[in-house]
Structure 1
Amino acid sequence: MKITHVECWSVLVPAVEPTFAWRKGLQGGFPGGERGVLRIGTDEGACGVAFAGRPGSADQLRELVDRVLRDELTGQDPLNREWLWHRMWEVDRIEELPLPLFGIVDTALWDLAARLYGVPLWQLLGGFRTELPAYASTTTFGSVQEFLDVADQCVALGYHAVKVHAWGDAKADARLALALREHLGPDIDLMYDGSAGFDLPSALYVGDALSDAGFLWYEEPMLEFSVSAYAELAKRVRVPLLVAETSDGAHMNSADFIRAGAATFGVRASAGLRGGVTGSLRTAHVADAFGVRAEVHGMDLPNQHLCMALSNTTYYESLVTSNPVRRESIIGPDGLLHAPTGPGVGLPPGLDYPAELQPYIATHH
């Protein structure tokens, strides 16, 4: 079996309504517009697809396919995923690929293989579970009181835990953390995501409050370039750190965080930001060797499959963007994500993207 065609097309997705905010300094909401879909086909009819959901991805992916990927992939055996993942690192050496596009070929090849064998991707990956608790991952709301109200709604809707993306103000965020714990009591897991908004002194200030409030993890408070800064933070706060979400280098970079003692809870895995499915598998295996977690980041369909395949992930991340809260449709009243059942990743193999997938494409990226 050989790859015979590599193509890209665009899917027009709507903006998320109502719009929502992140911390000060970050663009809010998910704007509408074109997104890119990569399709890899073979001489035996097998095909695989992967979706690039970031704004601007359609043009970026189309140019990359036409200039590099079609020539690189045509004639290759699509089941040689390790070899082709290595080739993408060689391409990256010259191209400096955008991080969300680095793993897109790998994800499409895993989709192709799972479709070929007629199984969901998570089963092809080995399969560890068929359901996983979901946590409500909030966007940024306007006040402490509104966050408390949103958290109450999330718990009432069945979510097993709540993660907050707050304002990026160390003192205000620390007050929010303490208020959430006092309000919800000791039995609900709480997490905090700093979205790389702090320097080390501010990260220490917030980390002390999260420690006192018994948060499960403290995620990405600083830009993920200085492993030593994270190692220093880990030494000086009790709350465990979840790191390496957006840093380039997949499992190699994750290994440095872990070895430095900076990943005291674990590291992030995701098809979109950690080198596709292969990069996420390698990341999770490295983390497992050190006895820490590999928490799957984000709500993409490939990440749902990773949630079912990785033994050392704890929760599925379910984004909450509105007040009143709307529970994600794939999460049941019991707060559980259940394993996908269709072959492959679950995106259509051709141009006909049904209406029920439009909210997924718009809101999950």
Structure 2
Amino acid sequence: MKIEHVEAVNLLCQYPENDRFQYAGGVCTNRLTTLILVHTDTNYVGIGSVYSHPALIYLIVRDQLNPLLIGEDPCNVEELWKKMYGLTLWYGRKGVAMSTLGGVDTALWDLRGKSTGKPVWELLGGRRKTCPAYASGLLWNDVDKLAEEAGQYIERGFRRVKMRLARSEEYDTSAVLAVRKAIGMDHDVIVDASMRYHFELACRMGNFLKEQKVFWYEEPFAPEDIDSYVALRQVVDVPIAGGENEFGLQGFREVIRAKALDIVQPDASRCGGISEVWKIAKMAEESGLGVATHSWNDAVAIMANAHVVAAMSNGVTVEVDQMNNPFVNDLLVKPLQIESGELQLSHAPGLGVELDLEVVEKFRLGDPLAIPDGVYSDMMFGKSYFPEPMGYKES
């Protein structure tokens, strides 16, 4: 089997007014993702996913990774990862270049599985075809509505929910109390502070979160503020999580060696593909840390992450976006299935997913280099949509 060409497909949807949500970055108007398709001289097509600046992804694939990989055996996953990394090293190592080669890497794992007739979780040595999953939503809203929303996630089969804080200290505490009351102590609450706390506030909130038996406390600080993570972990008795904004084994090595986190959160669509998530998970395992992957773009990324988490003894859970994202809800012929808090995998080869090509064509961006203005949750395009400085009122 040989690679014929590699394709980047940029997808974009605009939220109806009623589906838009508010968070620390503003009001989300749109969502986007990039699919990676590795076409071969057989009937097999490898599927991957990238979550970064879509125009830059497209250029890196078109002008560098595609010509590099044509004619190669896609099952030589490790060798091809090194080639892609070497080619993009000067401008890469982290950020969009690492994310892009990671999307290709995930597609290569999909092809490796398809060619051998085995699912990726089995190729990685796993023994279970399910993976714990949590509902990720609960953006800024009235606390009564948050409570109702959290209850709906439990009804959908989830056993854990994640909520976003960082609005004000009064809001943050009242929101956690409302969600905790709504789902009870038999279910887990996860909180994300969106990198907006200073150290004293983080300590104060950490003590409160311990009282509420929060499952983990995510990103109180910016990713480069490793010293604050280290200090907080020494004084707060609630697991500290982070890593969605980190890239590659080298990036996670730094935070793991610093003992900055209890739970690391790599993402196959961001940090370098299944290959890097696997290496990061193994390093975390050696240090006694859990792995709970980040996902916020599409169902392909969720499934790629789930295969790794399912195969690891220290795999904690995967994130499942609940914010009416069509790239999560509608992209696959067989939608994601959650039963008793577990994402169902299967014995189907590779990632075990099939794209709904009508959905792909519906949301395909006509000009892959022209991104309409808007707020795309983690990315903003058009100056009028750039985030304004936002204060935080403490109690």
Given the two structures, how large is their TM-score scaled by the length of structure 1? 0.83
Aligned AA for 1:79?
C
CA distance in 1, matches of 2:183, 2:57: 44
Question: Which residue of 2 is the match for residue 199 of structure 1?
Answer: 198
Kindly indicate whether residue 340 of structure 2 is the aligned counterpart of residue 334 of structure 1. Answer: yes
Distance verdict in 2 for CA 1:168–1:254, change over 3 Å: farther
Q: CA deviation at 1:302?
A: 1.4
Map 1:270-289 → 2, pairs under 5 A: 270-289=267-286
CA distance in 1, matches of 2:213, 2:350: 39
Return the match for 1:71 from 55, 67, 71.
67
CA distance in 1, matches of 2:361, 2:163: 27
Question: Which residue of 1 is the match for residue 313 of structure 2?
Answer: 311
Distance verdict in 2 for CA 1:358–1:113, change over 3 Å: farther
40-49 vs 217-226, which deviates more?
40-49
Could you list the per-position Cα deviations for residues 113-143 of structure 1 after superposition, in whole angstroms to 9, with x for gaps in the alignment? 1111122222222223122333221141412
Map 1:217-296 → 2, pairs under 5 A: 217-248=216-247, 250-264=248-262, 266-296=263-293
Aligned AA for 1:259?
R
CA distance in 2, matches of 1:94, 1:257: 23
CA distance in 1, matches of 2:156, 2:118: 31
CA distance in 1, matches of 2:182, 2:213: 13
CA distance in 2, matches of 1:130, 1:318: 17
Q: CA deviation at 1:14?
A: 3.4
Could you list the per-position Cα deviations for residues 3-42 of structure 1 after superposition, in whole angstroms to 9, with x for gaps in the alignment? 3x3232536553345423242334525436xx54333344
Question: Which residue of 1 is the match for residue 388 of structure 2?
Answer: none
Question: Which residue of 1 is the match for residue 322 of structure 2?
Answer: 320
Given the two structures, how large is their TM-score scaled by the length of structure 2? 0.78
Question: Which residue of 1 is the match for residue 125 of structure 2?
Answer: 126
Could you list the per-position Cα deviations for residues 80-106 of structure 1 after superposition, in whole angstroms to 9, with x for gaps in the alignment? 222222223323322335153241121
Question: Which residue of 1 is the match for residue 389 of structure 2?
Answer: none
Distance verdict in 2 for CA 1:164–1:107, change over 3 Å: same
Percent identity between matched residues is 27
CA distance in 1, matches of 2:163, 2:69: 41
Alignment gaps of 5+ in structure 1: none
Question: Which residue of 2 is the match for residue 83 of structure 1?
Answer: 79
Question: Which residue of 2 is the match for residue 7 of structure 1?
Answer: 6
8 Å contact 1:22–1:166 — kept in the other structure? no
CA distance in 2, matches of 1:231, 1:274: 22
CA distance in 2, matches of 1:66, 1:11: 13
Question: Which residue of 2 is the match for residue 353 of structure 1?
Answer: 357
CA distance in 2, matches of 1:100, 1:9: 12
181-190 vs 230-239, which deviates more?
181-190
Aligned AA for 1:312?
N
Question: Which residue of 1 is the match for residue 175 of structure 2?
Answer: 176
Q: CA deviation at 1:69?
A: 1.2
Q: CA deviation at 1:312?
A: 1.6
8 Å contact 1:15–1:30 — kept in the other structure? yes
SS at match of 2:157: coil
Aligned AA for 1:285?
K
Question: Which residue of 2 is the match for residue 92 of structure 1?
Answer: 88
CA distance in 2, matches of 1:357, 1:339: 26
SS at match of 1:239: coil
8 Å contact 1:257–1:263 — kept in the other structure? yes
